[in-house]
Amino acid sequence: MPPEAIALRGLTFAWPTPPEGREAVPLFRDLALHLEEGAARTVLGASDGGKSTLCHLLDALVPAYTGGELRAERLEVLGLDLRREIPTPAQVGLLFQETATQLFTTSVEEEIAWGLEALAMEPQAIGRRVEAALTRFGLAGLNRRPPWTLSGGQQKRLALAALWAQSPRLLLLDEPLGGLDPQGRAEVRAALEELRAEGATLLATAALDRLAPWAESCLLAEGMLSPPRPLDRWPKQALAEHGVAVEDAALERLRGAASPRGKAAVELRGVRYRYANGVEALRGLSLRIAEGEMVALIGPNGAGKSTLLRHLNGLLRPAAGSVRLFGQETAGRSVGELAREVGFLFQRPERQLFAATVREEVAYGPRQLGLAEVDRRVETALVRFGLEGLADAPPAILGYGRRRAITLAALAALETPILVLDEPTVGLDGRGWQQLLAWLTERRAAGTTILLATHEMALAATADRVVRLEAGRIAAQGEPAAMLAGEGGR
């Protein structure tokens, strides 16, 4: 029998008791996990379900750095009892979900060298190891680039290279495919496949079945881990119920919610935009969207999708050309004024929460705009996104999934006639997808005009029209079926 890389049994863990009135619900209850050396396993679980905590626990960061109450019959990694011993980076490597935080130096090569210096490797050997890691993960030639200028996929690969250079026997990968566009996902998937082929021991997490690196999966739900099973042996419906999958029916409902078109809601004419660094992001772009229409913008990174969206509520102003909403020029109207007509969802919106309570957060927009029936709007939005029980909680202490839901509720409360969404599904778990789809279905049926930028072809396929941007111009547009035929389906 091969030696055990991970052996957990009877694990119970709860965060430190929160302040008044909130009970400490154990995050893990009698959790068990076994992984043999040389094996690979996915832990599937919805946001806020404890996936990151499990990873941190297996690297002895929890509870050492976070506090919390831990009990276990057995808590061993590579034969080390984590209650007494801390694994070194030469034993366990951890890829953080928020990879950017893990890259703390100012150049790619230094990032890899840093960990080797920490292990007191001989300086002559470090140079060779750095080069080997760069080549191994397809980063050769990027030696001097600052890590924060790399694409999402490159950042993940750099973090992997830095871990790999320290030669760990077990790699913990917290959502390695999450938050990436399809190209980044393909890059990282390939890198992980290679590690797998070399016989590395790997434990990865995923918040969505499609983002599972390996089919052999356990489901983390209600604080317990199910025994492993290949992904295709889980009924899709069960996965959706546990918030880690999207049923096709939800997408179908959105597709079917099309409403009749009215006059022009959005009209861009000959819009040009150039960033201060000289990059010409939009090069004479014209687009007309009818009231009640849903349009999906697709195209590679840097094609100008976000730049275009930012023109709709005045965050950016065209250098030439015009933007009209319901026939009115946006020029001369502030972003705050345009917020009456355009509800805007940013990328990574969960970082933008600032109010003291969830209720205040959701009420902020309607109050700023002096809208009628603020209370009714707020209550409706809170119920819509299952937040009514958390109305008085500070958004800052809530988990990722909840914070994403708050951003949608804050947007929903504005009840704007136009919705502009920039990559709304990135980082969402199955539950987040379902919430988003259900809400969009409702708004679309009610005649709201929707413009969204996405890399998810399954989402783009639900639109009335798909517009493909390339290098700041519309390269093609048309019905989803025709437009997405060559995009590799879902």
Partner 1 sequence: MITFDLYVPGDSPLHRLDPRVKLLLLAEGLTAAFLIHSPWAMAAGLLVLLGLLRLNGVPLHLLTWLWRQMRVLLFFILLLQPFFSPGGGVLLAWGPLRWTSGGVEAALYLALRVLLMAYLVAALLFTTEQRRLVQALVRLGMPYEWGLMLSLTLRFIPAIYGLFVTVREAQAARGWRAEGPLLKRWRGYLPVLVAVVIGTLRQSDQLTMALAARGLGRTARRTVWRDLRMRPLDWLALGAGLAGAIAFAALRGIG
Site residues (CB under 8 A) for partner 1?
A: 56, 59, 61, 65-66, 88-89, 92-94, 96, 98, 100-102, 104-107, 110, 113-123, 126-127, 130, 144, 146, 148, 162, 166, 313, 315, 334-337, 339-340, 342, 344, 346, 348-349, 351-355, 364-366, 368-369, 396, 410, 414
120 vs 197 by CB, closer to partner 1: 120
Sign for the pseudo-dihedral over CA of 97, 98, 100, 102: negative
Q: How far apart are CA 315 and CA 307, in angstroms?
A: 9
275 vs 482 by CB, closer to partner 1: 275
First and final CA of the chain: distance in angstroms? 40
197 vs 277 by CB, closer to partner 1: 277
369 vs 476 by CB, closer to partner 1: 369
366 vs 430 by CB, closer to partner 1: 366
User: Which of 190, 205, 136, 189 lies closest to 165 in space, CA to CA?
Assistant: 136
Grouping H, G, I as helix, E, B as strand and the rest as coil, residue 308 is helix
- What is the smallest separation between the CB atom of 403 and partner 1, expressed in angstroms? 11
User: Which of 172, 161, 214 lies closest to 53 in space, CA to CA?
Assistant: 172
- What is the smallest separation between the CB atom of 28 and partner 1, expressed in angstroms? 18
- What is the smallest separation between the CB atom of 117 and partner 1, expressed in angstroms? 5
Q: Say if residues 324 and 338 touch (Cβ distance below 8 Å).
A: no
Backbone φ and ψ for 237, nearest 5 degrees, come out as -65, -40
164: Cα within 13 Å, side-chain hemisphere: 24
- What is the smallest separation between the CB atom of 227 and partner 1, expressed in angstroms? 28
- What is the smallest separation between the CB atom of 230 and partner 1, expressed in angstroms? 30
225 vs 362 by CB, closer to partner 1: 362
- What is the smallest separation between the CB atom of 59 and partner 1, expressed in angstroms? 5
Q: Which residues are paired to 272 by β-bridges? A: 283, 320
- What is the smallest separation between the CB atom of 321 and partner 1, expressed in angstroms? 22
To the nearest 10°, the Cα dihedral for 338, 341, 343, 344?
Answer: -40
Q: How far is CA 446 from CA 108, 322, 341, 439, in A?
A: 50, 28, 15, 11
Backbone φ and ψ for 155, nearest 5 degrees, come out as -60, -45
212 vs 419 by CB, closer to partner 1: 419
- What is the smallest separation between the CB atom of 270 and partner 1, expressed in angstroms? 25
Q: Say if residues 462 and 251 touch (Cβ distance below 8 Å).
A: yes
Structure tokens at 298: 């697709």
- What is the smallest separation between the CB atom of 354 and partner 1, expressed in angstroms? 4
- For 313-338, letters b (16+ CB in 10 Å) and e give bbebebeebebbbeeeebeeeeeeeb
Q: Please give the DSSP secondary-structure letter assigned to residue 242.
A: T
| Residue appearing with tokens 């006059």 | 263
- What is the smallest separation between the CB atom of 58 and partner 1, expressed in angstroms? 11
In sequence order, which residues have a C-beta less than 8 Å from that of residue 147 and are 6 or more positions away? 100, 103, 105, 106, 107, 108, 111, 155, 158
- What is the smallest separation between the CB atom of 377 and partner 1, expressed in angstroms? 13
234 vs 346 by CB, closer to partner 1: 346
22 vs 348 by CB, closer to partner 1: 348
92 vs 452 by CB, closer to partner 1: 92
209 vs 341 by CB, closer to partner 1: 341
Alpha helices per DSSP H over 448-489: 457-460, 480-483
What is the DSSP secondary-structure string of 309-337? HHHHTTSS--SEEEEEETTEE-TT--HHH
86 vs 319 by CB, closer to partner 1: 86
- Tallying the residues shown for the chain, one arrives at 490
Q: How far apart are CA 58 and CA 482, in angstroms?
A: 48
- What is the smallest separation between the CB atom of 432 and partner 1, expressed in angstroms? 18
Grouping H, G, I as helix, E, B as strand and the rest as coil, residue 489 is coil
- Supply angle C-alpha 27, 32, 36, rounded to 5: 130
| Residue appearing with tokens 């919430």 | 435
Q: How far apart are CA 406 and CA 410, in angstroms?
A: 6
158 vs 250 by CB, closer to partner 1: 158
- What is the smallest separation between the CB atom of 473 and partner 1, expressed in angstroms? 25
